Amino acid sequence: MALIGLALLPSPSWALGLNDVSAWAQTTWNAAVDTARTGQDDLYFSGYTWHDPGTYTAAKRATLNSHAWGIGWGRHRVHADGNEDMVYAMVFSDSHWNAEPVVGYAYQWRYFNDSPVGVGLGYTLAVTSRADIFNNIPFPIALPLLSLRVGRFSIYGTFIPKVNNKLNNGNVAFFFGRYEF
């Protein structure tokens, strides 16, 4: 009897949340595929990583690579409302001078699209691998993304937060650029 009573209750709110997440994931996947197929080509380049002095000791920061030189290719698509989808693949020198590949999708809400200088706020979902994390086994990342656009050039910044209380890890800002063809 109790099971029949439970079956008559409305579905729990978490179930609706899972449906919402599933719909968002499908929409995001479709946007990434459409952008890869129909977007405009981009050249990506990276160059700087900032390690938070409040998280890393001076001695540790002295051993880390701040010059995250790298290159990549991608595509972007601007919507009628000015917002943007991006797909990209890059490889760059990580904090330990190892090659770090990343393949991802990004979405940005863009502002001041009609002016020569614009800004954006969004997120990126990607897969990367690092020698110091999981021995180069690929793993997913989801990070915030900010941008400053001047004509065909954009500078992006993201922040990798600290995930534990250990010293000398996390709270890293990564900066890269894009040229739109």
Domain assignment of residue 138, yes or no: yes
Domain count of the fold of the chain:
1
Domain presence at residue 168: yes
Q: Is residue 110 part of a domain?
A: yes
Q: Is residue 78 part of a domain?
A: yes
**Does 81 participate in catalysis according to the annotation?**
no
Q: Which of 42, 46, 51, 85 is catalytic?
A: 51
Q: How many CB atoms lie within 10 A of CB 61?
A: 16
In order of 76, 79, 98, 148, the CA distances from 115 in angstroms are 19, 16, 39, 12
9 occurs within a structural domain: no
What CATH number does residue 62 fall under? 2.40.160.20
State how far the Cα of 38 lies from the Cα of 117, in Å rounded to an integer: 25
Catalytic option among 46, 85, 95, 154: 95
Structural domain range at position 76: 14-180
* Catalytic one of 42, 46, 85, 94: 94
66 assigned to active site: no
* 146 within domain boundaries: yes
pLDDT in tens, the chain (181 residues): 444 444 444 545 555 567 788 888 899 999 999 999 999 999 999 989 999 999 999 999 999 999 999 999 999 999 999 999 999 999 999 999 999 999 999 999 999 998 999 999 999 999 999 998 899 999 999 999 999 999 999 999 999 998 888 888 889 999 999 999 9
Q: Does residue 48 form part of some domain?
A: yes
- Does the active-site annotation cover 95? yes
